[in-house]
Amino acid sequence: MATPDPVILCRQTRFGYDRSRPVVDGVDAGLMPGRLTALVGPNAAGKTTLLRLMLGLLRPWSGSVQLGGLEVTSLSPRIRSRWVSYVPQKAGVRFAFTARQVIAMGAHAQGAAGEEAIEQAIVELALAELADRVYNELSGGQQQRVMIARAQVQSAGGGRVMLLDEPGSHLDLHHRHSTMQRLRTLSARGLAVLVVLHDLDLAMRYADDAWLMDAGRLVAAGAWDRVLTPQLLEPVYGLGLQALDAGGARPVLTVASPVRDTMQ
């Protein structure tokens, strides 16, 4: 069977907000369909900026970001919204929309009502009891699940890619794991899913592939078990790590040496 082409392809992508300092510096990587990719790295590594480049919200200084073989910034917002859905770290909703109405917004990208997709997302994200409540009155974790459901609806038509920026940041332990299981299901349906994670054990447990960033550069990209290793992670995070057998198919990480206090 032939290897599929990347849905999103970054070629020597370089960008910054200040010409003297790139935030994304020469990234070469391809996001593959049918796989869940974890984007990991410390704070200020350039992860969110890379997502914004993939969305076509930023134009690279040099290099390119291609979506389906086309420069993403050459595509109209409508085309991009049909192909790519996005879950930000925090989404503001200004008016008193219900959770169901926010989820239904995802259907507009496909130009159809999408009632079946809306109801399916509500059920699969366990939002039935919250669907008619005002979105702004929900907890942070509940709001995050609504935004993931909206992205799922947006991807129900011709969607190719789902990008998520720390979707578990407001979720409790149960919903963090159930959300990652949902993303695995969506990737198994053919989506290319890229999720920014700070929890390395979530990445170890659920990712098919991993991208490791540090100071704007892509340190490594590939299968999770070749990237999420103490040898690669230790110099990036600045602490000693050890992979432990958790009694399952994948290990977990633990800190093997004390972290030096840098805030004195």
131 or 262, which is more confident: 131
Three-class secondary structure of residue 45 per DSSP? coil
Task: Give the mean pLDDT of 84-104.
Answer: 86
Q: Which residues, at least 6 apart from 132, have a Cβ–Cβ distance to it below 8 Å?
A: 98, 99, 100
Residue 261 has pLDDT above 60, yes or no: no
Strands 84-87 and 161-165, by their bridges, are parallel
Q: Which residues, at least 6 apart from 165, have a Cβ–Cβ distance to it below 8 Å?
A: 47, 48, 51, 86, 87, 88, 89, 196
* CATH superfamily name and code, 8-255: P-loop containing nucleotide triphosphate hydrolases (3.40.50.300)
The residue ranges of every structural domain in the chain are 8-255
Q: Which residues, at least 6 apart from 77, have a Cβ–Cβ distance to it below 8 Å?
A: 56
Task: Give the model's pLDDT for residue 115.
Answer: 85
Q: Which residues pair with 71 in a beta bridge?
A: 66
pLDDT in tens, 116-164: 889 999 999 999 999 999 998 999 889 999 999 999 999 887 789 999 9
Q: How many CB atoms lie within 10 A of CB 69?
A: 9
Half-sphere exposure of 120 (CA within 13 A, CB side): 14
Q: Are 212 and 237 in contact (CB under 8 A)?
A: no
What are the tokens at 166?
């720390």
Residue 157 phi/psi, 5-degree rounding, is -90, -100
Could you tell me the CA-to-CA distances from 196 to 13, 37, 102, 212, 255 in Å, in that order? 18, 9, 23, 10, 21
225 or 20, which is more confident: 225
pTM, two decimal places = 0.92
Return d(Cα 169, Cα 166) in angstroms, integer.
Answer: 6
